[in-house]
Structure 1
Amino acid sequence: MKNLFATLCAFLMTTVIFGQAGHIMQGVGSVNMSMGGAATAQPLDISGALHWNPATISAFDDNILKVDLGLFFSSPELSSTVPEFDGNGQPTGNFFSGTTEDDRGISPMPALAYVWSKPESKHTFGVSAFGISGFGVTFPENMSNPINMPQANGGFGRIESDYMLLQVGFAWAYEISDQFSIGLQPTFNYAALELMPNPTANPNQAGYPSTDKASALGFGGQIGVFYDSDSGFKAGVSYKTTQNFGDFELDNTYLDGSTSTNKFNMDYPAILSFGLGYSLGTIDLAVDYRMVDYENTDGFSTTGWTQTASVAGFGWENINIISAGIQYKGISKFPIRLGYTYSSNPINSDVAFFNIPATAIIKNAFQVGFTYEASERFAIDALFHYGTSGDATSGPVLNPQFIQNYPPYGAIPGSEVSYDMTTAMVGIGVSWKLNK
């Protein structure tokens, strides 16, 4: 069992995860995703319980292993419009516009969880390894789209980003009474980042550099409370602290072959979750509300240009997330689930330009899933997800050379950059009860 867990953890570290709510995945695993991510007060599987409220693992009396794999598809589009100027630098009244489609392809999304307990014990323990956050785009160089023109022509050229965050948690839950449980979970994180071009570095005469992939380690924790009335009603509260990371140390290579290094710090935001659940007969209901604190998170709290024309940070606002799901168990050995997730947009139009590498903002997400209970000890889960960003995120094209005339960020008059996307995912999971 230990060798299997270590092998799956290594596989997790090689994948790229894409955020849905901000840069945060809305759920973990096929069951939790199919409930819209709602699990703070409705622990239907151990993955959702470990991720959103460690106190809820007290609901499980067996030793359970859960393994999930999703295949994620996205279709971002990046559009831009800039005014044309004559040889004297005066606007001609004409505009140049274009659109570039992402060509990244499919990304795998694995998740691994294990919980163990004894029916007579008040203690329950769990361990998990989840890809909980990320973003990534690949917009090829494109002479028909101003933003993707080569840097020598005033664009950024090929725009590519890869960011992923793997979180390993060790959870403990204690049943204070038959109705109340508390849970604690220290968390340890590994993140990797690669950017082309790298806007956090100082540009030279050739433009902005590209980076090799850099990594950083972080740590944090989570605490939760769970109430189960034993009459169907359930409630839960959970708080995940800011995950504090060391700096990414980025090795840069410019278009002229010169090199440099710079550091960039990007933490994972604190998340406060409230949940309600209700179970009656063949129906399980769940709804969660979350507040994600980007405004006090390094890498997201600051924005704008530095004095050397690098980008200080993403400049995201706090977001609100509502997750809701229903499970119907009226068909023998075949529970069916429907889920929905709403997320507000953290990106203000003024700073849309700074966030081109992180376009995965999904406003509305819809999920459907089911489980086939093959035996008392073994079950197979399946999921389909579809998400849309709703209205496109848009704002002016920014240039640090324009700051003096168009503060605070140097918006080019008459310009616009915008991006929107849809996402789809199919997933499958298996769970084993390992008790002898």
Structure 2
Amino acid sequence: MGSFNLNRAMPLSVVLAAMSAGSAWATNGHVLHGVGAVNQSMGGAGIATAIDATGSNFNNVGSISFLEKSSIEFGAELFMPERSYTASAYNGAVSGTLDSKTREAVIPSFALVYKTQTPWTFGFSAVGIGGFGVDYPADQANASGQFNPLGLPQSQNGFGSIYSNYQLLQLTPSVAYQINQDWSVGLGFNLDWASLSVDPWPATTPNASGYPSGSHSASAWGQGFTVGTLYKVLPNLSLGLSFKSPQWFNDFGWNSQYPNGAPAKYTFRLDYPLIVGAGLSYKPVEDLTLAADLKWINYRNTEGFQEKNFANAGSGPYVRGFGWEDIWAVSLGAQYKLNSRFTLRAGYNYSDNPIPSNQQFFNVFAPAIVQHHLTAGAGFNVTPALELNVAYYHAFENTQSGPFISNGGPGYPAINQAVPGTQITNRLSEDSVSAQVVYRFE
């Protein structure tokens, strides 16, 4: 198999991925629609294809058997979201819009696949797979009486400045076994690392001065597994199935303080959802590959996402969780090889919005509401072994609205009821450019 050295490449991959992980905004809920420039430019479709190691090991570990050669891949994505929110009260008599500071994120990807002379194929990937983040300024009343009521300080029943940053990195060693020339099955173990900061932190009991700060990043480790299979029904038609378990995390924990300086210590658990997917790949002609995936993302049974609304406690109400719904995601992709050197790719991705209107109020910190994505990319073989890939995608702006939700305080409706005459509107769009280098071993 040439000079490919698995033992040397593995430690290098972990170091590079850990150093490069940045805050990520994701596109199917808080889940990236695709990983690596090749898979992203295909709209994220990769369950029944075997085009690149990064997309194959992430989408369906059973597909790595059908990669043509052993390979190693490095990639990076520059992610550029645009976010804002409008809050109004008294039927719009008081209203204001605040824009989040744009914080570009660099999202890493690394993968390798080692094909043996036996039916066994070994894989590994280290990729940023999701996250969220906002950085909204505080607001105050002005001469015209117009302001964002949520942007007021906590002492005036607002939140003040709002900040969140969630990062998620996943390492997946895997193994696939090719049962025959048309059928392969695979198994992978997922080791996850996440970092979370939110300020103010509304998911713990307040004191008389308000909610404590969660600006100091807390980290947690998680784990799960993935299984997959790919079957070639015909020489030009493949079907794939993938099951990725929930990623079960330890609790995040903070040593913090309330606005009045009193100490605060609290924890929060935020798991990653179960994802079940099916895909097909069809080659009407030798140089054209068409792919389609369907995924179900199970937020309603995921710790941290399934809980919703306020909980009442002796010292005051606190937010129980994000309150997200399950979503379906569809990925469509096409790849056409112009010649031995140039390849063109394009795709489309759609996902449901996981945040219902009555939970928009609680998700100013994480407005993961984009639904439509267009993707494009290209590959260039510098040499027969070395390939350079680039990709771009745009997630079109989506706007979702809902009422303020009462915390049951004096002069407000009962807890968890809509506050009349109020509205919160979240907006989000995204752009991304990425590059990926692939080296295939003889």
State the TM bucket, normalised to the shorter chain.
over 0.9
Given the alignment of the two structures, is residue 164 of structure 1 paired with residue 161 of structure 2, yes or no?
no
* Alignment-derived partner of residue 210 in structure 2: 207
Q: Among residues 36, 40, 46, which one is paired with 1:33 in the alignment? A: 40
Aligned to 1:364: 372
Deviations 1:8-50 (A, max 9, x none): 122234x111111111000000000000000000121111100
Deviation of residue 104 (structure 1)?
A: 3.1
Q: Which residue of 1 aligns with 2:118?
A: 121
Take 2:414 and 2:345, find their aligned partners in 1: how far apart are those partners?
Answer: 50
Q: Per the alignment, in what secondary structure is the counterpart of residue 379 of structure 1?
A: strand
Deviations 1:377-426 (A, max 9, x none): 10000011100243x12111123125996456132111001111110011
The yes-or-no answer on 1:140 pairing with 2:123 is no
Between the aligned partners of 1:137 and 1:225, the Cα distance in structure 2 is 38
Partner of 2:5: none
1:12-411 superposed matches below 5 A: 12-13=20-21, 15-83=22-90, 95-118=93-116, 120-143=117-140, 144-211=147-214, 212-279=216-283, 280-308=285-313, 309-390=317-398, 392-401=399-408, 406-407=413-414, 409-411=416-418
Q: Structure 2 stretches of 5 or more lacking a match?
A: 1-7, 141-146
Does 228-237 or 217-226 show the bigger shift? 228-237
The answer for unaligned runs of 5 or more in structure 1 is 84-92
Once the two structures are superposed, residues 259-309 of structure 1 have per-residue CA deviations (whole angstroms, 9 ceiling, x without a partner) of 211111111000000001012222100000000011111111111111121
Q: Work out the CA distance in 1 between the residues paired with 2:209 and 2:250.
A: 30
Contact 2:412-2:419 within 8 A present in 1 as well: no
**Which moved further from structure 2: 57-66 or 232-241?**
57-66
Q: TM-score, normalised on structure 1?
A: 0.94
CA distance in 2, matches of 1:409, 1:137: 24
Contact 2:92 2:421 in 1 (8 A): no
Q: Which residue identity lines up with residue 10 of structure 1 in the other structure?
A: A
Partner Cα separation in structure 2 for residue 124 and residue 359 of structure 1: 40
- In the TM superposition, residue 328 of structure 1 has moved relative to its aligned partner by 1.1
Aligned partners of 1:356 and 1:11: how far apart in 2? Answer: 29
Q: State how far apart, in whole Å, the 2-side matches of 1:237 and 1:425 are.
A: 28
C-alpha distance in 2 between matches for 1:63 and 1:51? 16
State the secondary structure of the residue aligned to 2:207: coil
Q: Deviations over 1:66-92 (max 9, x none)?
A: 111111111111110012xxxxxxxxx
Match of 1:412 among 391, 413, 419: 419
Residues 318-357 of structure 1 deviation map (CA, whole Å, 9 limit, x = unaligned): 0000000001112441110011000001111111111111
In structure 1, how many angstroms separate the alpha carbons of the residues matched to 2:114 and 2:309? 48
Alpha-carbon deviation of 1:317?
0.7
Amino acid at match of 2:355: I
Asked if structure 1 preserves the Cα contact closer than 8 Å seen for 2:135 and 2:164, the reply is yes
Aligned equivalents of 2:111 and 2:410: distance in 1?
Answer: 50
Q: Percentage identity across aligned positions?
A: 33
Structure 2 counterpart of 1:88: none
Flag the 1:369–1:199 CA change in 2: closer, same or farther, 3 A.
same
CA contact (8 A) 1:227 1:236 kept: yes
Query: Aligned partners of 2:414, 2:185: CA distance in 1, in Å?
Result: 50
User: Is contact 1:12–1:166 with CA below 8 Å preserved after alignment?
Assistant: no
Provide the C-alpha distance between the structure 2 equivalents of 1:426 and 1:9, rounded to a whole number of angstroms. 18
CA offset digits 1:163-218 (Å, max 9, x no partner) = 11111111100011111100000111111110011011211111111112111111
